Amino acid sequence: MIIFSGIQPTGRKHLGNYIGAITQYVAGQDRADPAIYCIVDLHATTVPYDAAQLRGFTYDTAAVLLAAGLDPDRCLFFRQGDVPEHTELCWLLSSVTSWGDLNRMTQFKEKSAQHRERVSAGLFIYPLLQAADVLVYRADEVPVGDDQRQHVELMREIARSFNARFGEVLVVPEHRIPEVGARIMDLQFPENRMSTTASSEQGAVYILDEPDAIRRKFKRAVADSGRDIVRRGDKPGISNLIDILAAVRESSHGEIEREFADSGYGAFKEAVAEAVVEFLAPVRERYGLLRADEDALEDVFEAGAEKARALASGTVADVREAMGVGPARRLIRRGGA
């Protein structure tokens, strides 16, 4: 089985990223052959950004992933912009992707509303490049957070449309969304997903936050009326805290509810905070050493990109052949026997 997933190098990574995606990446190293992960720097250029910051955030994200347990000897890890096969396949797949399908993407509508001064064409075709990221490796599984479900469905439709038109060339991938912690919400506005860009400083818990900062954020987290610690639709604040603790402990919602049935909100928030502090401590401790050596991070990217291109080039060659793009393959090369 082949696993693929990518992560944006925009801003600081938060608890939702860690629970919903990064922990899945680490676990996937033992299930896949290979597990392929990349930092999608090309995706980050679809909204206004600073070039120097992008490079810095790319190193930040790489150090976080390696500190969390990604091992370049056990997975294929690289920077998206170093593998041009992604963008070539994106263009080739545009022939089987309709404007209407892209226009229905919820994330495009949300982001275009945030960046009204300049809605780039890149932002519109973002899901198409995301599909190419996955399909170029013929990945079977895509570990994602719940917010990416629509994009995975689109890439599945793109693969099916291509195969129906040009023959069975691409693999139709499946998404893998964690049963617990798939959607971690903002601590101050629990109706909204925790976000690097949309959450306030107090609403998002960042992976590299100091322990006391984490404790303060949970202490100030919005709770609900009443005292019951139950996961219910009319209690979004407490439900979010239950989700977080269940994910961190790798337990069920019911187990959390039973354990804290007689506790008050204050004690429960404190317990969640301490569990998160302990959960993030190993990453925070390893991060500094890894981030300080940018040359070593570049070495990791270079080695990963070489391996990635070896895989991706075969898919692109098959797609070009099926579509009639470029010269036909020859059974015997010129000058050969």
User: pLDDT by residue (tens digit) across 283-304?
Assistant: 999 999 999 999 999 999 999 9
Most confident segment among 8-22, 56-70, 178-192:
56-70
Going along the chain from its start, the domains and CATH numbers come out as 3-176+294-323 (3.40.50.620), 211-289 (1.10.240.10)
Nearest to 152 by CA among 119, 136, 176: 176
Position 31, amino acid: R
Give pLDDT, residue 329.
77
Residue 190 has pLDDT above 80, yes or no: yes
The mean predicted confidence, pLDDT, of the chain is: 90
Q: Which pLDDT does position 330 carry in this prediction?
A: 64
**Is pLDDT at 123 greater than 90 in this prediction?**
no
**Residue pair 211/277 in contact by the 8 Å Cβ criterion:** yes
With a pLDDT cut of 70, the percent of the chain lying above it is 93
pLDDT band at 122 (very low <50, low <70, confident <90, very high): confident
Alpha helices in the chain (DSSP H): 15-17, 23-28, 41-44, 51-68, 85-93, 99-103, 106-114, 121-124, 126-135, 149-166, 211-219, 236-249, 253-259, 265-292, 294-323
Q: How far apart are the first and last CA of the chain?
A: 37
Average pLDDT over every residue of 311-323: 97
| pLDDT value, residue 336 | 44
Predicted local confidence at residue 180, as pLDDT: 66
pLDDT in tens, 67-107: 999 999 999 999 999 999 999 999 999 989 999 888 888 77
Predicted confidence at residue 60, as pLDDT, reads: 96
pLDDT of residue 224: 83
How high is the pLDDT of residue 332?
42
pLDDT range class, residue 253, cuts 50, 70, 90 = very high
pLDDT at 188 over 80: yes
Tokens, residue 233: 């639709």
- Band (309; pLDDT cuts 50, 70, 90): very high
Q: Average of pLDDT values for 47-56?
A: 91
